[in-house]
Structure 1
Amino acid sequence: MSEDVKQQVIAELKEASLGKFAIQLDESTDVAACAQLLVFVRYVTGQDFKEEFLFCHTLNTTTRGEDIFNEVSLFFEKEGLSWNNVCACTTDGAPAMLGRRSGFRGRVNQVNPETKHLHCMLHRYALASKTLPPDLKLVLDDVVHMVRWLSRGNVVSRVESLKEKLTEFFKCDNKVKSLEFTKKLSDSQWLQKLAYLSDIFLRLNSFNLSLQGRFATVSDFMDKLRSLTMKLELWEGKVKDGNLSMLEHLGEALDKSQNTGKQDVMQLVQSHLASLRMELQSYFPELSELESKLIRNPFIVNMHLLPDNMQEEFLELVNDSVAKDAFETLSLTKF
């Protein structure tokens, strides 16, 4: 069945409208410490975009850009696909992927200089959200040593909600590490920082989930990102005024400690929110408001803001009543 599905996807790729398709690559290590290369594909078929899983291969030797390029090339050659039809490649930010000479990007450019290379937006968001000042990073490290969990947001919230039970557990263990953990779990300032991490990671994880899913567009992403950065600025201002309504766990922790050390933790929270907002803005600078409007609704864009070589074609579009009707009835990707 899987082979039949693969052949259907390849047949659609060969017949895709415009004759072009885009690929997204992710190289990850599985539980057996084997490097796996996953490749997804997006193309136009019929009246809409289509996204499909293309293949997953084990990288038996090294994971250099050259190895990844060769693995994809062998698949293309076997299935009758061509690099000339690849209009875009999305990867993570690893040097093996983005290297302009020996990296995957460099090798692709050698066979098709027209291919556009993109750094995965979800990966960029993950990198930006890892920004933590040293004081908070130490607390997160402590949490990871206490309890293992897949998600940073989940592990922090679990420890925060189970701190009394964990204290009892560590008290029953005479190991040096357990004694250290017991001491931290009774330290009001450590618990305040833990509570803040629980609050902010839950918010960031929720945002991350909202970005995932099929047929998400760059416009959707930038709208949500703009909303998050404005929220961070709002929260920063509220914390400065002493308002912790959006940081429920931190507020409870401060109440329990009778606001001991409140000023220090408030300054730490302000600093982190500001640095997180700036990191997000630095990782996503390229889509302007004009580009975003042009994608979402070209009929409301000011013609004079467009480049000269687009203006005449743009006037034809905005005065096309069939196009206007299509915009109102079709999904954005179909339009």
Structure 2
Amino acid sequence: MDKKVKEQVISSIKSIPLSDTTAARRVDVLTTDVFDTLLNQLRKADFISLAVDESTDNSDVAQLCMFVRFFDGHCFKEDILGLIPLEGNTTGEILFQKIFDFFQENGLDLERINLLVTDGAPSMAGKIKGLSARLSALAPKMKSLYCLIHQNVLCPQLSGELKNTMDSVMATINFIRSTSSLQHRLFHKLLADMSAEHVDLLLHNNVRWLSQGNSLMRVCELRKEIITFLRECKHRKAETFLTNMLDDKFVSEMCFLCDILHHLNVLNLGLQGRDKTVADVVEMLTAFQNKLDIFSSDLSSRLLHFPTLSGFIKSSQSGKVTKVMSDFLDHLKHNFAQRFNDFDIPKELLHVVRNPFTSTPNTSPKAAEFLKLHGIDEGPLQLEMIEMQASCELKDVLQEKGCTELWTKHIVPEMFPNMKKLAMCVLTMFGSTYTCESSFSHMNAIKTDNRISLTNEHLHHCLRIAVTPYEPNFSRLAQSMKCHFSH
């Protein structure tokens, strides 16, 4: 056969699309391979942290997502453990039975779970019939944690006058953007004619609370253009919104909310992401609590941390800091202290893992109980800590490469067995259900309205391939495949 003709034939064959059966079978094979790798490593792990959350897919089927974090002997891994469909109710008993059966079927040990992180729903966190209470009966070493990101979001809930201010601003945005297409186009044109910094306002969605601060920031930056538009608008509601935008007290509160929500947004974004342990998250939350003290004193003095509010007060005649603002900061400090000071996992042990060179060998009764629960001998632990603190080499490693690499690459169990065990236990722990939440975004992107008939099994397989850190062993799989397969 002529070489050119041969190349054309090969190219034509390659362009033939795979059948749906072949594509599904290949996804199943790849999923099975990476899942077997995960299970083999999990069975060897000393500690397993579990993040569990539940959401519904596009066909209204409740899906229970489980993510696992563990140390595989070389590094810490986070991977989806399972996506379990829930056909009927989603009570604590049903959630527990599904997880129990999953562990039994795959040969996993529930007693190795050291932390369960949930979204705090009653079916998850109930003290008697919730998932965490039922699992604790079979996993006595397990601690339960209400997702720290969820708790952080609940702290700045608005009420009273500030809530009215926020609602009025959001109503103004909705009025300009959503009253009619014509009105929205006219606002676009006005911004272009006035050479505004932005081309539009941002809508706020309660589900995506971060957009609240961004929406406020945009309103503050386009305030002059909004006033001009509302003056020209002939709609009846425009007069009410214009009155608010010309009221210095209202705008002062709006600028204050813009600044404080910006600080909260920065914190929230810092808490999100993969490979964030409970020690990392608690450290950031503790730092923000200390920042709140600075914000309170700064609010009554120079406004260094409230640039939007400071700029408006300087440019207006009667803009000022009000008692409502200081009360909100006091309320915020109280909420953070109430939620995060009484932490179930001793903070001193988290600090020991993050920086063993600045920690004291003495432990509190709560820390001693935690160590005993996980089979860590407190006496030798104190002596090992003193020995570590005398090592200049290990101090340099911590400063240059961080605590994770210190414990995984430079400290072997034979050197400091109790310290190593404590570090592996703490660094295994999730700080939030972020991994579950992000996987739900993948799930909704996979099972769209156009793929509504996708089975639960295939959805699970597609999601695993999308989020797993493992790569299938393509060479071994290719050798074991049949060249000709009946369709």
Deviations 1:221-257 (A, max 9, x none): 333223222222112112223x222211112222343
Residue pairs, 1:39-50, within 5 angstroms: 39-50=66-77
Q: Normalization by structure 2: what TM-score?
A: 0.59
Aligned residues: 328
The equivalent residue for 2:294 is 234
Structure-2 change in CA distance of 1:290 and 1:321 (3 Å): closer
Distance 1:275 1:119 in 2: 21
Give yes or no for the alignment of 1:142 onto 2:176. Answer: no
1:12 maps to which of 36, 41, 44 = 41
Q: 1:292 Cα shift? A: 4.1
Q: Normalization by structure 1: what TM-score?
A: 0.83
RCO higher in 1 or 2 (8 Å CA, sep ≥ 6)? 2
Structure-2 change in CA distance of 1:34 and 1:171 (3 Å): farther
Deviations 1:56-84 (A, max 9, x none): 34444333323333343343344333423
Structure-2 change in CA distance of 1:292 and 1:43 (3 Å): closer
Q: Match for 1:187: what amino acid?
A: D
The equivalent residue for 2:83 is 56
Q: Match for 2:351: what amino acid?
A: K
Q: 1:332 Cα shift? A: 1.7
TM-align CA RMSD: 3.1
Secondary structure of 1:106's aligned partner: helix
2:274 maps to which of 214, 224, 231 = 214
Distance 2:62 2:229 in 1: 37
On the 8 A contact 1:89/1:116 being kept in 2, the answer is yes
Secondary structure of 1:129's aligned partner: coil
Structure 1 residue runs without a partner (length 5+): none
Structure of greater Rg: 2
The equivalent residue for 2:307 is 248
Distance 2:237 2:89 in 1: 37
- Give the structure with the higher percent strand: 1
Structure-2 change in CA distance of 1:318 and 1:44 (3 Å): same
On the 8 A contact 2:43/2:109 being kept in 1, the answer is no
Structure-2 change in CA distance of 1:280 and 1:83 (3 Å): same
Secondary structure of 2:144's aligned partner: strand
Give yes or no for the alignment of 1:302 onto 2:360. Answer: yes
Residue pairs, 1:97-246, within 5 angstroms: 97-130=124-157, 132-145=158-171, 146-147=173-174, 148-149=203-204, 150=208, 151-167=211-227, 177-241=237-301, 243-246=302-305
Q: Match for 1:296: what amino acid?
A: R
Q: 1:13 Cα shift? A: 1.3
Distance 2:163 2:359 in 1: 45
Give yes or no for the alignment of 1:275 onto 2:331. Answer: yes
Structure-2 change in CA distance of 1:182 and 1:66 (3 Å): farther
The equivalent residue for 1:333 is 404
Structure-2 change in CA distance of 1:12 and 1:227 (3 Å): same
Structure-2 change in CA distance of 1:104 and 1:129 (3 Å): same
The equivalent residue for 2:386 is 318
Q: 1:90 Cα shift? A: 0.7
Distance 1:77 1:289 in 2: 34
Q: Percent identity?
A: 28
Distance 2:350 2:142 in 1: 22
Structure-2 change in CA distance of 1:82 and 1:296 (3 Å): closer
